[in-house]
């Protein structure tokens, strides 16, 4: 894989001469490059002769190889095209569907990718990466629609059309940055047969007091050599450097090692290899902990979970003797590849992986240990992650800010460095307390804010009824407004899951207790007093009012229209009022807080502004008594007035009720 640091295939090209002598065709040469990992050099040879292949099966396999070459050199768009061609020619290798899906995902064609993952899953039902891919596509669509609060900026002054990646801080004030680059001017000065870029070196840049970064320059020997160097990691004092070097061993087998060197007044000492595996193995991407006692790295050592895994070695403080490698296990490592670890001073592990659900290629993840000492892994989401490869992150110690590398669209070319920053998140509750009838402001009302984290804040409303609270992230809130002579009212709000600053607006309307309060939507059958089922929703709201106002007692009043004898209507209205009281008692309201009273037709409704707006033939202040009803000429209007008079109300009797025993 290209991200391990491109291996120096050019050193073993001479070893392929015998193969070329046996079969000098371009396809044979391309196969030799392909098998050696020289994917960039293989591409042109494959494309020149691939149209000469007549056998359909053989052609499909070469198309598949060409797709692999583009995938492994970081060109997802071309890889998608060649995988599709291989599938159209019925490539027999089922893995072509998986890689085709992977490229569709990296090109943001999520629905098409899901179809291909499903086809692959039918062919290879035991590969868990198929389900990971399907889940990734569903999550990616959600994450793109709901980005996190991070702000990112392409570091155009540091980037080139070549690759820049794996930044790390080299000073405690964050003004010196080391990173890896394959730009022109590297020490080896030769091109990689794997990617077509120059062999990578470690570069340094410094930021001045105006915030301007200097032109990057490569570290001198003995750090950078003719081989591949990169992925630097420094101790907190900046005096010990760990990095990766990839080259060919004496047996002409490709491998990568981690080296360490110390800085003196005369510069860096000759690096020494930390011997962790045979020269042919991959040991790369070092990350030293803040206290210097743990070194995390990537390897294909035996005993892993599949692909490349993250391992660590430990040592006593002040010692140079490291332990044997320890695999971080399946809590971190997957059947895919885990790479580019970074250990934050607070103990959080950051790494990149294509084995967890993610947005495209490599995604950046963070892992924290819970109270049971188990790692909990979380995707950093968009915009830290993208459909392309995202990797190599580094943080400031006390701030959600730093740098990472990405191959996303919109960069200067290949892998680019990006700055990221999480602005402070501010949440405010801005509200007003109003009279629910007049819609006028209620000054000096008490507003109480209660948070799920246990915080409580109280304030009085201003002359205009306004109030304001500062809220904190990841908290549920209840806001309660109260004032003597009014029923309490409350609202709810939550900042959980929000990643951007926001002002919440809330209006709390309080109901005056000076006049009876109608309970709408209380229904009875004709000449009956049993509550109809649709009445219970309105009564449940009344139960909530009584629970929110535990110090009030009320009278439940039932009113009839003027038809029928007053004696009969008294009895009917009393039974209806009692039915309401019985329902409230059955639902936990104390009996001594309730009084039932039937008023028959003795208290006709008086028209208010709301009624007048609803019924244009009514005038505010009109008493809807029998005399007024008889004056109406329309039977429909008369029936409307009768319906208005048939109502259930409550009025507050006391506001000093105390629960017995409390």
**Rounded Cα–Cα distance for residues 343 and 353 (Å):** 15
For the cut 80, the answer to whether the pLDDT of residue 249 exceeds it is no
pLDDT of 662 higher than 90: no
In this prediction, residue 6 carries a pLDDT of 43
In 3D space, the residue among 415, 421, 423 whose CA is nearest the CA of residue 388 turns out to be 415
pLDDT at 121: 95
Instruction: Give pTM, 2 decimals.
Output: 0.70
In degrees and rounded to multiples of 5, residue 52 shows phi and psi of -85, -10
Residues contacting 657, CB < 8 A, separation 6+? 550, 551, 552, 553, 593
CATH superfamily of 151-421: TolB, C-terminal domain (2.120.10.30)
| Cα 420 from Cα 423, distance rounded (Å) | 10
Q: Classify strands 502-510 and 427-435 as parallel, antiparallel or unpaired.
A: parallel
Sort strands 416-421 and 401-406 into parallel, antiparallel or unpaired: antiparallel
Sheet holding 517-518, edge to edge: 517-518, 647-654, 553-559, 594-598
Rounded to an integer, the average pLDDT of 357-374 is 93
- Per-residue pLDDT, 137: 95
pLDDT at residue 1 tops 50: no
Q: What is the pLDDT of residues 269-288, one digit of tens each?
A: 999 999 998 877 899 999 99
Q: Return the number of other C-beta atoms located less than 10 Å from residue 11's C-beta.
A: 16
**Higher pLDDT, residue 407 or 520:** 407
pLDDT band per the 50, 70, 90 thresholds, residue 11: very low
Q: What percent of the chain has pLDDT over 90?
A: 73
Select from 434, 494, 425, 497 the least CA-distant residue to 466. 434
pLDDT tens digits, one per residue of 53-95? 888 899 999 999 999 999 998 899 999 999 999 999 999 999 9
State phi, psi for 331 to the nearest 5 degrees: -65, -25
**Residue 511 clears pLDDT 50, i.e. is over it:** yes
How many whole angstroms from its chain centre is CA 75? 27
Q: What residue ranges in 235-299 does DSSP mark as E strands?
A: 240-248, 254-264, 267-268, 272-273, 283-288, 294-299
Q: State how far the Cα of 156 lies from the Cα of 198, in Å rounded to an integer.
A: 20
pLDDT score for 293 = 97
pLDDT (tens digit per residue) in 439-498: 999 999 999 999 999 999 999 999 999 999 999 999 999 999 999 999 999 999 999 988
pLDDT score at 264: 92
- At 100, the pLDDT band (50, 70, 90 cuts) reads very high
* CATH class of the domain at 427-510: mainly beta
- In 3D space, the residue among 23, 63, 33, 34 whose CA is nearest the CA of residue 47 turns out to be 63
> Which of 45 and 499 is assigned the larger pLDDT?
45
The C-alpha atoms of residue 594 and residue 596 are separated, in whole angstroms, by 7
CA 246 – CA 229 distance, rounded (Å): 7
- Is residue 17 very low, low, confident or very high in pLDDT (cuts 50, 70, 90)? very low
Segments making up each domain of the chain, as ranges: 2-145, 151-421, 427-510, 517-654
CATH of 517-654, one of 3.30.1330.60, 3.40.50.300, 3.40.605.10, 3.30.2320.30: 3.30.1330.60
| Per-residue CA distances from 326 to 24, 104, 430, 644 (Å) | 46, 35, 53, 80
- The H or E element containing residue 341 is strand 338-343
- How does residue 254 score in pLDDT terms, banded at 50, 70 and 90? low
In sequence order, which residues have a C-beta less than 8 Å from that of residue 91 and are 6 or more positions away? Answer: 60, 61, 63, 64
> Vertex 153, ends 148 and 155: CA angle to 5°?
150
Q: Per DSSP, what are the bridge partners of residue 486?
A: 512
Neighbours of 402 (CB within 10 A): 22
Could you give the CA distance from residue 58 to residue 441 in angstroms, rounded to a whole number? 81
pLDDT digit string (tens) for 586-629? Answer: 999 999 999 999 999 999 999 988 899 999 999 999 999 999 99
d(CA 310, CA 527): 79
Average pLDDT of the chain to the nearest whole number: 90
Estimate to the nearest angstrom the gap between the alpha carbon of 94 and the chain centroid.
33
Superfamily designation of domain 2-145: Tetratricopeptide repeat domain (1.25.40.10)
Do you know the residue count of the chain? 662
What is the mean pLDDT of the segment spanning 361-385?
95
Radius of gyration of the chain (CA): 37
Per-residue HEC secondary structure of 562-601 comes to CCCCHHHHHHHHHHHHHHHHHHHHHCCCCHHHEEEEECCC
User: Order of strands, edge to edge, in the sheet holding 456-460?
Assistant: 456-460, 446-451, 476-482, 489-494
Residue 658, judged by CB atoms within 10 A of its CB (0-12, 13-18, 19+), counts as: exposed
Pairing verdict, β 338-343 and 176-181: unpaired
Q: How high is the pLDDT of residue 535?
A: 86
pLDDT of residue 25: 82
Q: What is the DSSP letter of 535?
A: G
Instruction: Output the CA torsion sign for 282, 310, 138, 382.
Output: negative
Measured in degrees and rounded to the nearest 5, phi and psi for residue 477 equal -130, 145
Could you say which DSSP state residue 552 is in? -
């Amino acid at each position: 894989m290209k991200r391990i640091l491109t291996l120096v295939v050019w050193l073993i090209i001479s070893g392929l001469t015998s193969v070329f002598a046996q079969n000098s065709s371009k396809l044979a040469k391309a196969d030799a490059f392909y098998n050696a990992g020289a994917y960039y050099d293989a591409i042109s040879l494959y494309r020149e002769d691939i149209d000469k292949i007549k056998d359909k099966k053989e052609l499909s396999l070469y198309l598949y190889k060409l797709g692999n070459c583009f995938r492994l050199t970081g060109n997802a768009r071309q890889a998608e095209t060649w995988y599709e061609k291989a599938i159209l020619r019925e490539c027999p290798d089922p893995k072509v569907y998986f890689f085709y899906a992977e490229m569709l995902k990296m090109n943001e064609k999520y629905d098409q990718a899901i179809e291909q993952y499903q086809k692959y899953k039918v062919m290879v039902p035991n590969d868990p990466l198929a389900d990971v891919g399907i889940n990734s596509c569903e999550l990616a669509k959600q994450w793109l629609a709901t980005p996190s609060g991070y702000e990112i900026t392409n570091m155009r002054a540091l980037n080139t059309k070549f690759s820049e990646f794996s930044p790390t801080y080299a000073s405690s004030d964050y003004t010196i940055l080391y990173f890896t680059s394959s730009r022109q001017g590297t020490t080896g000065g030769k091109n990689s047969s794997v990617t077509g870029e120059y062999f990578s070196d470690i570069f340094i840049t410094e930021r001045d007091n105006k915030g301007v970064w200097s032109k990057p320059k490569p570290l001198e020997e003995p750090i950078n050599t003719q081989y591949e160097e990169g992925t630097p990691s420094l101790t907190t004092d900046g005096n010990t450097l760990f990095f990766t070097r990839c080259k060919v061993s004496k047996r002409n087998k490709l491998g990568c090692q981690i080296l360490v060197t110390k800085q003196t007044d005369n510069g860096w000492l000759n690096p020494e290899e930390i011997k962790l595996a045979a020269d042919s193995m991959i040991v790369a991407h070092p990350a030293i902990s803040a206290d210097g006692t743990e070194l995390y790295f990537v390897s294909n050592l035996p005993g892993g979970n599949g692909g490349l895994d993250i391992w660590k070695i430990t040592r006593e403080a002040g010692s140079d003797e490291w332990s044997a490698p320890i695999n971080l296990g399946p809590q971190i490592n997957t059947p895919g590849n885990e790479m580019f670890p970074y250990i934050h001073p607070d103990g959080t592990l950051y790494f990149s992986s294509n084995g967890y659900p993610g947005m495209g290629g490599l995604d950046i993840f963070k892992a924290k240990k819970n109270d049971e000492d188990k790692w909990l892994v979380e995707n950093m989401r968009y915009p830290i992650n993208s459909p392309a490869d995202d990797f190599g992150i580094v943080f400031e110690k006390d701030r959600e800010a730093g740098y990472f590398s990405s191959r996303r669209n919109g960069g200067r070319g290949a892998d680019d460095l990006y700055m990221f920053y999480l602005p402070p998140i501010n949440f405010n509750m801005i509200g007003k307390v109003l009279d629910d009838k007049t819609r006028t402001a209620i000054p000096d009302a008490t507003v109480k804010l209660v948070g799920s984290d246990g915080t409580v804040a109280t304030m009085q409303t201003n002359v205009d009824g306004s109030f304001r609270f500062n809220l904190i992230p990841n908290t549920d809130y209840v806001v309660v407004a109260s004032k003597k002579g009014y029923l309490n009212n409350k609202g709810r709000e939550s900042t959980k899951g929000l990643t951007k600053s926001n002002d919440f607006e809330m209006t709390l309307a309080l109901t005056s207790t000076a006049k009876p309060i109608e309970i709408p939507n209380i229904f009875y059958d004709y000449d009956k007093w049993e509550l109809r089922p649709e009445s219970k929703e309105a009564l449940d709201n009344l139960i909530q009012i009584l629970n929110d106002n535990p110090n009030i007692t009320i009278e439940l009043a039932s009113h009839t229209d003027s038809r029928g004898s007053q004696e009969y209507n008294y009895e009917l209205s009393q039974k209806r009022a009692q039915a309401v009281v019985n329902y409230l008692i059955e639902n936990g309201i104390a009996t001594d807080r309730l009084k039932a009273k039937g008023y028959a037709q003795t208290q006709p409704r008086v028209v208010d502004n709301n009624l007048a707006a609803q019924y244009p033939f009514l005038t505010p202040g009109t008493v809807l008594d029998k005399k007024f009803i008889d004056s109406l000429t329309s039977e429909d209007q008369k029936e409307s007035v009768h319906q208005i008079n048939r109502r259930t109300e409550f009025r507050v009797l006391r506001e000093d009720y105390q629960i017995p025993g409390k």
